[in-house]
Structures are given as structure tokens and as C-alpha cells.
Amino acid sequence: MNICIGTAQIGSKYGVTNSEEFDLNTVDKFLSLALRDKNNFIDTAHNYKSEKIIGKFKKLDKFNVISKISLSQLKINEKNIETKINKILNNLKLKKIYALLIHDSFLFTKKELKYIFEILNNYNTSYFQKIGISIYDPRDYYRFKNISEINIIQFPLNILDQRFINLLDDMKNNNIEVHARSIFLQGKLIDSSNSTFTDLMRVDNYVKKNKYNKLDFSIKFIKNFKNIDKIVCGFNSIQHYREVVKSINKNQIKSKIDYSVFKSNNRLLIDPRKW
């Protein structure tokens, strides 16, 4: 399991633990460090300010770049989609990226999304190696799983949001590259401030009782799933990045933990779109 560098926090105060924006000098140091560590996958989106910022990094072509586009406000045709793709490549100053994901696939019918992927497939190998979707709900997977052009899927997975666990084997059986995001629930699972959510308080109390580190507790959960190819993880500092890398590389918590008891069905908590 490898890290894919999330960049939503670059250029914006994204997540509950991110109080400062990365400046250009810090971005350069951070991405250089990630390359040295061979964490050479990076995730961005056309809607993020970070796309233009990381495009200034001189060694960006050393990364496998994944970008996401939103198409729901666009008249869907080949010309408009190609224009959107070219804007992404211009911002990143790249001729080609590793993968392109549809950010708002949940807003389309299966027929509409199938048509979009038929268009995107015409540009496959020219502008990107893989195409796929970024989804929020398992129901979207069932709606779109038979679209043969989809070969990479990104979805949320963490201690509280365990909705996709039962789909992991099916994804791999369909030759899908699996990327898990929101492993810290945008910082809520490692935030030190008090929470009003009962489900989150249950996690906090368990961690305190057993004297675990919150970050290690979240990492141990995600490492249980061998079918995950990449974990998309954003960082609020270089130190935070180093702590995550250390936790992934070492088994900081030796005890066996039944994480299923922490599963939450509270959409107001597990779906950041509802915050």
C-alpha cells in the first residue's frame, strides 16, 4: 500500500486540522521529499487552487498525476471535454497525466456517464493512462460498475466510514485500481478538539483508554485492507507527512483491534458534503 499525495490543502485551508496554507517554498520542499521517499503519486482536481500551484513544481513530471474534473455544468460533447482536459494539462504544465477521474459522477445517469467515458476513451494513452470515477456512496459503484472503460475508482474509507469494505474484492475482481481517500475523515479522526458526535467520541474514548496515538490508530485500520492500491492522504505540514510515512512503514500498534464496532451510519458525520 502506497501513499498518493492529496493536494486539496495546498492553496486553501482544507480540512478541520489545516489552519495554514502551504506557501510555494514549502510545496517545493514537500514534493521533493515525497519523491525522495518514492511516494510518486499525486492527486489534485481542476476545482482545486492546488492544480496551478503544483504545476509550478519543476519535477512534477516525475509524479504520476491524477486529476479530477467536474462536468455537470458543462454541455457534454467531445469538444468541451477536450477543452477542459487541455486546461488541466496547461495548469499542470504537463503533456500527459496518469489518470483522469470524474469528480461529480453521482450527478449523471449511467447512460450519460457511459457516453462521457466513450469520449474520454478516445483520448486514452494520448492525455492519460487511466480513466475512472471519484465516488462518495457505494450505490454509485453499483450504478457504474459495468462501464468497462472505468479502471480506477477513488472512494472514502476510514474507521467511521466503512461502507465500501464489502466492495473491495469485487473491485479487484473487475481489475479496478483501488484508491481510498479521507482516511482521517478530513482531520476529524486525528483532531484533538472535542466532538459533539457520539460515534466520534466513542473512537476518542477508546484511543485515550488504550493510550494509542490517533494517527497510528487510523493507519492501522486502513492497513488491514490488502486490496487497496493507494491511500490518498492530504497533509497539513511536512512534519505531518513524516508522521504518516513512519506510521505506515512501522506497526506502531501491535494489538489486534475489532474496528467494526466503530462503524457509523451517521451521514452528517461521515459525508463531508453535509458538513
Distances (CA, A) of 188 to 26, 200, 225: 24, 8, 21
Please name the residues in contact with 52: beta carbons below 8 A apart, sequence gap of 6 or more. Answer: 11, 91
Look at 124-133, 186-195, 196-205 and tell me which has the smallest mean pLDDT. Answer: 186-195
pLDDT at 188: 94
Beta bridge partners of 5: 42, 233
Percentage of residues in the chain having pLDDT higher than 90: 81
Give the 3-state secondary structure of 60-117.
HHHCEEEEEECCCCCCCCHHHHHHHHHHHHHHHCCCCEEEEEECCHHHCCHHHHHHHH
CB-count burial class (<10 Å; 0-12, 13-18, 19+) for 234: buried
pLDDT at 13: 57
Cβ proximity of 118 and 149 under 8 Å: yes
Please name the residues in contact with 50: beta carbons below 8 A apart, sequence gap of 6 or more. Answer: 7, 8, 9, 10, 11, 12, 44
pLDDT at 1: 76
Residue 189 cell numbers, joined: 479522526
CB-count burial class (<10 Å; 0-12, 13-18, 19+) for 108: buried
CA distance 78 to 97: 19
Report pLDDT digits (tens) over 78-132. 999 999 999 999 999 999 999 999 999 989 999 999 999 999 998 877 999 999 9
- Domain limits of the chain? 2-274
Q: Count of CB atoms within 10 A of residue 70's CB?
A: 16
For the 2-274 domain, the top CATH level (class) is alpha beta
Mean pLDDT across 8-20: 62
Cβ proximity of 68 and 4 under 8 Å: no
Cβ proximity of 47 and 80 under 8 Å: no
Cβ proximity of 156 and 180 under 8 Å: yes
pLDDT at 21: 62
Please name the residues in contact with 106: beta carbons below 8 A apart, sequence gap of 6 or more. Answer: 135, 136, 137, 140
Report pLDDT digits (tens) over 152-187. 999 999 999 999 999 999 999 999 999 999 999 999
Radius of gyration over alpha carbons of the chain, in Å? 18
Cβ proximity of 269 and 160 under 8 Å: yes
Write the DSSP symbol of residue 20: S
